[in-house]
Amino acid sequence: MNVAIVAEYNPFHNGHLYHINKTKELTRASNIIAVMSGNFVQRGEPAFADKVTRTKMALKNGVDMVIELPVEYATGSADLFAFGAVDILNKSGIVDALSFGSELGEITPFSDVADILNNEPAEFKRIMMSLLETGVSYPAARAGAIKEYLDIDTQFLNSPNNILALEYIRALKSTASSIWPYTVKRKGDYSDEELAGEFVSAAAIRKALLNGEDDRVVEYIPKSVADIIENLSYIPTIDDYSASLHYIMRSCPVNRLSEIEDVTEGLENRIHNNISDKKITELINIIKTKRYTYTKLQRAILHIILNLRKCDIDRRGVGYIRVLGFRKSKENLLAELTHKASVPVITNVKAAPGLLEKEIRATDLYYMIINGDIGREYTNPIVIED
Amino acid sequence: MNVAIVAEYNPFHNGHLYHINKTKELTRASNIIAVMSGNFVQRGEPAFADKVTRTKMALKNGVDMVIELPVEYATGSADLFAFGAVDILNKSGIVDALSFGSELGEITPFSDVADILNNEPAEFKRIMMSLLETGVSYPAARAGAIKEYLDIDTQFLNSPNNILALEYIRALKSTASSIWPYTVKRKGDYSDEELAGEFVSAAAIRKALLNGEDDRVVEYIPKSVADIIENLSYIPTIDDYSASLHYIMRSCPVNRLSEIEDVTEGLENRIHNNISDKKITELINIIKTKRYTYTKLQRAILHIILNLRKCDIDRRGVGYIRVLGFRKSKENLLAELTHKASVPVITNVKAAPGLLEKEIRATDLYYMIINGDIGREYTNPIVIED
């Protein structure tokens, strides 16, 4: 039984460890395969540590193999993120189940909602249209229509992990996947702000690390992770790319930015007219609205910086499977993957630079902040842990 | 009699004043029209002060009208620079003569050499080919062939102002211009390094200003210029664009840079392979060769930063005449220009943003270093001096 987990491990913490252990207990998995975002994450910012470092954290704490979620999916909106991950798992040919955390802790409600959203029955569409005509936003109209059509409380769809869970289920259904879903109920309330309780969120840990409060973090992360964090030289943030955004907004005809993924409805002009010499976080706080949330804007700005255009995202799915690392005792798993995958399996970027062009550029931009070298995507070795 | 001068005034100094006065004396000019580079100059770097400031310096010291040499010509190689300037003067319809400084101080030798280079007689080409076959560089073979064909000493063609003078004469001839050439012999040896003698070069003055030695500069510049310089907040250099170059080299597929003007023979790869986290001047010192001189490389790198592609340069010439400023008493000169020019005369960028797109972007990139605002090309007023 090979069970997959989709993760960012940004950083790996006790909640992740609990999820892995609970997954093994629930599914009696023989192997845990993580699909992990690379150097940039779904909030639209650089990961706190590079993907090699985060792969090590995973392999030291119960994961047997780490596969990379390519940057255009890893930094995408929730539906694109989930679709990319599920598509990779489908194409791997070796995954039996997908285990994800959720605040809800059961599959059926997600499944019911996913069916409606994927199939859009006429009555559901009619309700949604009439709600839209009252002037509410698209997400609000959608939630209202689900509530009325299914006659259920849709409050649960506001929680961050439930949102992703729904998207995994939708992706499994829309790709007619043979992979079974499992969900592990999240423990604690995972405040983004506070370091308190049994588990805390990765965001709270990042915040403490950025404030230099490493000591306060140790009780929420495995010892092996703390040891790795201790050796990090710098934690990059989106503001480290402010000068790059200034350059882009002054060198590039502004209308060309509408080609960029997630740049819609004249967002390029709002950025152009407000950026001046501001930091990116300052800019976002000025231009954010109810409709254009902080994260949505950060994601769009990251795509501008990474030059990820709408046409760069292949809606048919991922064209390769890139292994970031595996446990030495699980070499057979790599062999099985290579044998059964329906797309090329990449363990050495040098062998397939064309396929990974977007990844190579993203990695060069990641190391621009923390290290001078260009070409690290070629020279960083695959991670093999005992 | 309207006489033109092509200049950078970077900064305006006593040598420029001497040239203007000598030109008036020689030609009995009623009006002096300067064609001046804008915010970036022919050495491939930002001007020490913006074009509005440098226009003021010119108008306070004997120039009656300043016309902008568009950025793609102003930052071009000597032949493109001279062609752009002469083309503007031809299209102005109001210029009778062009006066330029030279170390030589007479027109005939330039004219003889220009005829050969423009017409390439068969015997000249034959000599040049045989010299190239011995393995010497293109410029050396060209110089050798001129020497042999004309039986003259071509040493004078190595001096910087003679090189430009030759290109002005070539451009006047190749465009069948009705404008007459005058040359003023340069006084002093204009060392690029030393502040000594009656006249010094603009390069030596910039160097002193960058070292904060404003006091040592005053005897080489008019008082009105010293007053303006005293109020400058910052003198930008090419190294202020190092972070921009780092971003470009990591975000852009390297082969796309071969589209950039002056990027030839795989130069993009040499930059990509050597830039790492270096400053631009450090990079140039590492990759320069006899063939790729410091200035040639700096120009290519500036074109990468300004995103000036080969296809952005119209070899047919300039499509508009942009007036940066004029003396109030010479309003009739502006009226005459508007009346007689064969291309649109622009005094207000807002009226023709499409024509000046490259200029708008270059100005935004100039002010990125010295001031936060985007859109200064629209808001900077035309300069009118008493």
Nearest CB to B244: which of A247, A253, A306? A247
DSSP A329: G
pLDDT at A243: 96
In a domain, A87, yes or no: yes
Nearest to B57 by CA among B108, B8, B4: B8
The answer to whether the Cβ–Cβ distance between A251 and B372 falls below 8 Å is no
Same domain, A91 and A202: yes
Q: Give A192's pLDDT tier (boundaries 50, 70, 90).
A: low
The answer to whether the Cβ–Cβ distance between B307 and A247 falls below 8 Å is no
Same domain, A225 and A334: yes
Angle (CA) A359-A365-A367 rounded to 5° is 105
Gap between the terminal Cα atoms of chain A: 21
The answer to whether the Cβ–Cβ distance between A373 and B253 falls below 8 Å is no
Q: Give B57's pLDDT tier (boundaries 50, 70, 90).
A: very high
The answer to whether the Cβ–Cβ distance between B247 and A247 falls below 8 Å is yes
Identify the closest residue of chain B to A377 by CA–CA distance: B250
Same domain, A217 and A294: no
The answer to whether the Cβ–Cβ distance between B374 and A249 falls below 8 Å is yes
- Range A353-365 average pLDDT: 93
Q: Which residues contact A22 (CB under 8 A, 6 or more apart)?
A: A184
Number of A/B CB contacts below 8 angstroms equals 71
Decide which of B312, B331, B354 is a domain's last residue: B312
CATH of the domain at B328: 3.40.50.620
8 A C-beta contact, residue A157 and residue A145: no
Domain count, chain A: 3
B interface mutation test: which of A234, A246, A301, A307 has the most B CBs within 10 A? Answer: A246
Model pLDDT for residues A329-349, shown as the tens digit of each residue: 999 999 999 999 999 999 999
Identify the closest residue of chain B to A364 by CA–CA distance: B250
pLDDT at B371: 77
Q: Is the ipTM of this complex over 0.90?
A: no
In a domain, B79, yes or no: yes
The answer to whether the Cβ–Cβ distance between A251 and B275 falls below 8 Å is no
- Range B205-214 average pLDDT: 93
Query: What pTM was estimated for this model as a whole?
Result: 0.91
Rounded to the nearest angstrom, the minimum Cα separation between A8 and chain B is 23
Model pLDDT for residues B148-189, shown as the tens digit of each residue: 999 998 889 888 899 999 999 999 999 999 999 999 998 866
Same domain, A140 and A91: no
Encode B147-175: b = buried (16+ Cβ within 10 Å), e = exposed.
Answer: bbbeeeebebbeebbbbbbbbbbbbbbbb
Chain B residues contacting A, CB < 8 Å? 243-244, 246-253, 272-273, 275-278, 305-307, 357, 361, 364-365, 368, 372-374
Same domain, B123 and B96: no
Q: Tell me the C-alpha distance between B106 and B152, whole Å.
A: 15
In a domain, B167, yes or no: no
Q: Which residues contact B113 (CB under 8 A, 6 or more apart)?
A: B146, B150, B154, B157, B166
Same domain, B328 and B286: no
What are the φ and ψ backbone dihedral angles of A34, each rounded to 5 degrees?
-100, 130
What are the angstrom distances between the C-alpha of A101 and each of A66, A106, A113, A181, A273? 18, 10, 17, 11, 40
Which residues in B lie closer than 8 A to residue A372 (C-beta atoms)?
276-278
The answer to whether the Cβ–Cβ distance between B361 and A251 falls below 8 Å is yes
Identify the closest residue of chain A to B302 by CA–CA distance: A251
Percent of chain A with pLDDT over 70: 98
The answer to whether the Cβ–Cβ distance between A357 and B247 falls below 8 Å is no
Nearest to A6 by CA among A175, A184, A156, A173: A184
Question: How many C-beta neighbours within 10 Å does residue A341 have?
Answer: 17
Which residues in A lie closer than 8 A to residue B307 (C-beta atoms)?
251-252
Rounded to the nearest angstrom, the minimum Cα separation between A367 and chain B is 9
Same domain, A275 and A135: no
The answer to whether the Cβ–Cβ distance between B368 and A247 falls below 8 Å is yes
The answer to whether the Cβ–Cβ distance between A374 and B275 falls below 8 Å is yes
Nearest CB to A250: which of B277, B357, B361? B361
8 A C-beta contact, residue A206 and residue A123: no
Rounded to the nearest angstrom, the minimum Cα separation between A138 and chain B is 34
Same domain, A120 and A219: no
Rounded to the nearest angstrom, the minimum Cα separation between B250 and chain A is 5
Nearest to B270 by CA among B238, B243, B292, B239: B292
In a domain, B21, yes or no: yes
pLDDT at A191: 61
pLDDT at B352: 85
Model pLDDT for residues A100-146, shown as the tens digit of each residue: 999 999 999 999 999 999 999 999 999 999 998 998 877 788 889 99
Model pLDDT for residues B360-377, shown as the tens digit of each residue: 999 999 999 987 789 999
The answer to whether the Cβ–Cβ distance between A247 and B365 falls below 8 Å is yes
A interface mutation test: which of B39, B233, B250, B260 has the most A CBs within 10 A? Answer: B250
Same domain, B49 and B134: no
Identify the closest residue of chain A to B377 by CA–CA distance: A250
- Range A276-283 average pLDDT: 96
Same domain, A249 and A378: no
Model pLDDT for residues B260-308, shown as the tens digit of each residue: 999 998 999 999 999 999 999 999 999 998 778 899 999 999 999 999 9
pLDDT at A189: 62
The answer to whether the Cβ–Cβ distance between A368 and B275 falls below 8 Å is no
Same domain, B126 and B87: no
pLDDT at A290: 79
Which residues in B lie closer than 8 A to residue A251 (C-beta atoms)?
244, 305-307, 361, 364-365
Rounded to the nearest angstrom, the minimum Cα separation between A275 and chain B is 8
The answer to whether the Cβ–Cβ distance between B364 and A251 falls below 8 Å is yes
Same domain, B8 and B47: yes
pLDDT at B345: 97
B interface mutation test: which of A358, A374, A376, A379 has the most B CBs within 10 A? Answer: A374
Decide which of A276, A292, A312 is a domain's last residue: A312
Which residues in A lie closer than 8 A to residue B277 (C-beta atoms)?
368, 372
Q: Give B137's pLDDT tier (boundaries 50, 70, 90).
A: confident
Q: Tell me the C-alpha distance between A58 and A34, whole Å.
A: 8
pLDDT at A190: 61
Which residues in A lie closer than 8 A to residue B272 (C-beta atoms)?
374
The answer to whether the Cβ–Cβ distance between A250 and B275 falls below 8 Å is no
Strand partners, A99: A182
Percent of chain B with pLDDT over 70: 98
In a domain, B332, yes or no: yes
8 A C-beta contact, residue A282 and residue A332: no
Look at the block and give the residue holding tokens 């500036």: B302
> Positive or negative, the Cα torsion across A116, A118, A123, A129?
positive
Rounded to the nearest angstrom, the minimum Cα separation between B33 and chain A is 31
- Strands A65-69 and A321-327 come out as antiparallel
| Residue B185 DSSP SS3 | strand
The answer to whether the Cβ–Cβ distance between A250 and B364 falls below 8 Å is yes
Rounded to the nearest angstrom, the minimum Cα separation between A243 and chain B is 7
Model pLDDT for residues B326-365, shown as the tens digit of each residue: 999 999 999 999 999 999 999 999 988 889 999 999 999 9
pLDDT at B160: 87
Chain A residues contacting B, CB < 8 Å? 243-244, 246-253, 272-273, 275-278, 305-307, 357, 361, 364-365, 368, 372-374
Which residues in B lie closer than 8 A to residue A247 (C-beta atoms)?
243-244, 247-248, 365, 368
In a domain, B207, yes or no: no
Nearest CB to B250: which of A275, A278, A374? A374
Gap between the terminal Cα atoms of chain B: 21
Which residues in B lie closer than 8 A to residue A269 (C-beta atoms)?
none
Domain interval for residue B281: 238-312
What are the φ and ψ backbone dihedral angles of A115, each rounded to 5 degrees?
-60, -45
- Range A67-83 average pLDDT: 96
| Residue B131 DSSP SS3 | helix
The answer to whether the Cβ–Cβ distance between B250 and A276 falls below 8 Å is no
Which residues in A lie closer than 8 A to residue B357 (C-beta atoms)?
253
Nearest CB to A368: which of B247, B305, B357? B247
In a domain, A174, yes or no: no
The answer to whether the Cβ–Cβ distance between A357 and B253 falls below 8 Å is yes
pLDDT at A54: 98
Identify the closest residue of chain B to A277 by CA–CA distance: B372
The answer to whether the Cβ–Cβ distance between A244 and B249 falls below 8 Å is no
In a domain, A70, yes or no: yes
Burial bucket for residue B275 (CB in 10 Å: 0-12, 13-18, 19+): buried
Nearest CB to A374: which of B272, B306, B374? B272
Q: Tell me the C-alpha distance between A203 and A244, whole Å.
A: 25
Decide which of B254, B277, B312 is a domain's last residue: B312
The answer to whether the Cβ–Cβ distance between A307 and B249 falls below 8 Å is no
pLDDT at B101: 95
